[in-house]
Structure 1
Amino acid sequence: MTLVKFNPEKKNNALLPGFNDIFESVLGDTFFTERRMNSVPAVNISESSEAYQIELAAPGLKKEDFKVSIERDMLTISTQHQEQTAEGKTYNRKEFSFSAFTRAFTLPESADTEKIRASYNQGILKLELPKKEEAKAVSRQIEIQ
C-alpha cells in the first residue's frame, strides 16, 4: 500500500487534475465577483461632543453625482452615476465598477438637520451633522468641600 500525501496548497492534485482551476475560474471571475464589487459604498460613522460625522467611500465620482436629502428623520445619500462605455475598446478583464446606489440612515433626535454640511474630496463624501445645543455634552468642574 502506498500513502499519498495530501497537499491543499497544490492547485492540481493527482486525483482530479484541473478540478480546482474550474472552481477558481467560476468563483473568482463571474457572478460572485460582480456581486462583491457592486455592493454599496463603505461608511464610517463617528460622534464627537459637538457633532456626528459620516464618511462614505465613493471614488471615481464628482460632487454633482450625489444627491443628499432629508425626509423626516431619514438621511438619504444616493447617486445615479452610470459608467461610460469606451467606443472601440475590448476589455480582457474589467474590474472598475461604478453603479447607482442609495444609502439611508435614521438620524438621532439630537442631530440639528438645519445645519448639516457636506463635502466631497479625494473619493470621500463627508457629512457633518451638528448636535442641537441641548444635546451637547456639558462639562464643568465640581468643587469638593
Structure 2
Amino acid sequence: MYYNQAWAAKGQEHGSASKLPLIRSMQRAAVSIYKTENSHELLVFAPGRIKEHFHLDVKGNELTISYTPPKDFPRPEWVLREYSRGGFVRAFKLGDTDDAKNITAKYVDGVLQVSVPMLKEAQQPKQEIKVS
C-alpha cells in the first residue's frame, strides 16, 4: 500500500478560505498505517469532521479517502491554528494481496479507521523450503 502525493487538496473546494494552495502540513489529514495478520489498517487523524462527509472509493488499485466540509461549516476567527478542519484528499495504491471489495471504515473519536483485508491466499503462513 503506497501513498500517491499527486492528490493534494487546494483551494476553497477543500475548506480553505483562500484560493491559494493550503500549506502542506495543514491541507491533509495525518495517516498511520499498520499491518496485521489479516489486513492493513489505516488511521486517518481527522478531528472535528462530520462522519457523513467522508468519501472512500476504489478505482482500479487505488483507494481514495476524501473529506468535503459542508458549505455552512463554521470558520472561527483563529488565534492559533495547527491543523485544518477543512477538506482533504489522500490516495493509496492497493497491493495485489489487498481485498478491495471488503474494505470497511468507521469514524471514532476523531479518527477514521479504515480496514483493508488481505485476500485469503495472501494469508498463508510462512513455509520454510529445505535446500537439498
Structure 2 length-normalised TM: 0.69
Q: Contact 1:43 / 1:55 at 8 angstroms: preserved in 2?
A: yes
**Aligned counterparts, 1:1-145, within 5 A:** 35=23, 38-81=26-69, 83-85=73-75, 91=77, 93-95=79-81, 97-138=84-125
2:19 corresponds to: none
What's the Cα RMSD here?
2.3
Q: How far apart are 1:99 and its partner, in Å?
A: 1.6
Moved more, 131-140 or 53-62: 131-140
What is the distance in 1 between the residues matched to 2:78 and 2:34? 41
Comparing both structures, which one devotes a greater share of its residues to helix? 1
Q: Paired residues, what number? A: 104
- Which consecutive aligned stretches of 4+ in structure 1 deviate over 4 angstroms post-superposition? none
What is the distance in 1 between the residues matched to 2:85 and 2:116? 27
Q: Contact 2:30 / 2:45 at 8 angstroms: preserved in 1?
A: yes
What is the distance in 1 between the residues matched to 2:46 and 2:78? 25
Secondary structure (helix, strand or coil) at the match of 2:27 reads: coil
Deviations 1:46-71 (A, max 9, x none): 11111110110000012101000000
What is the distance in 2 between the residues matched to 1:75 and 1:42? 16
Deviations 1:90-111 (A, max 9, x none): x472526322110000001101
Structure with the bigger RCO (C-alpha within 8 Å, sep 6+) is: 2
Secondary structure (helix, strand or coil) at the match of 1:38 reads: helix
Q: Which has the larger radius of gyration?
A: 1
Comparing both structures, which one devotes a greater share of its residues to strand? 2
Structure 1 length-normalised TM: 0.63
Q: List runs of 5+ in structure 1 lacking aligned partners.
A: 1-33, 141-145
